[in-house]
Amino acid sequence: MSQVIRGSEGLIAILVALSLVALAACLIYIYWTIHTHKLIADALRRVSRVLCCLSMFEVLALILQPSSFDETRLNLIPGRDLFASTDIQTALVNLIGNVAMFIPFGFFGPECSTRLRKPASLLILGLGISSSAEMVQYIFHLGRSADVTDVLLNTVGVLLGGLLNWIIVRPVSARLVRLQE
């Protein structure tokens, strides 16, 4: 993860800029929806779908970015690469980056589909997306390690996003629906 961040500052800057533009467009859409008295819940669902798709593109861009390593490795021992790192900064970037990168799926997922409102569904989503990403890295020999620790950290990120959704979005959505009635 840290090799990608150090080696592709331009790509990350572009992704951040695109994210900010998409977020601004979503906020404008919500503002327009509120002032034209459209269904707010429907608007939030649409915005969530856009932001979830944007998150998927960002994850794809990061995992498909080739590394400077010549070999692709497979690590099936949880925490081996994370705890074997002699550089604490690299370990922290790996830990925080892998969790943070998948928070949007858990945060926006329940707003995209009511099936994703259960923790078990979010767990399956996190394991599925993350396992797929690691398999792509291994199969296409991108010079990156396919790591079970990444799968676990990404899944924690999805579950953390789901928790944030439950704490922040659901009460706000319920209040907006009540105000609209």
**Containing domain of residue 89, as a range?**
2-180
Model's pTM, two decimal places? Answer: 0.74
End-to-end alpha carbon distance in the chain: 47
Average pLDDT of the chain, as a whole number: 77
Q: How confident is the model over 100-137, as pLDDT tens digits?
A: 889 888 888 888 888 888 889 999 989 999 999 888 88
Number of domains within the chain = 1
Mean pLDDT of 57-77: 74
Can you give the pLDDT at residue 35? 59
Helices and strands of the chain, counted as H and E runs: 9, 2
- How many CB atoms neighbour CB 120 within 10 A? 7
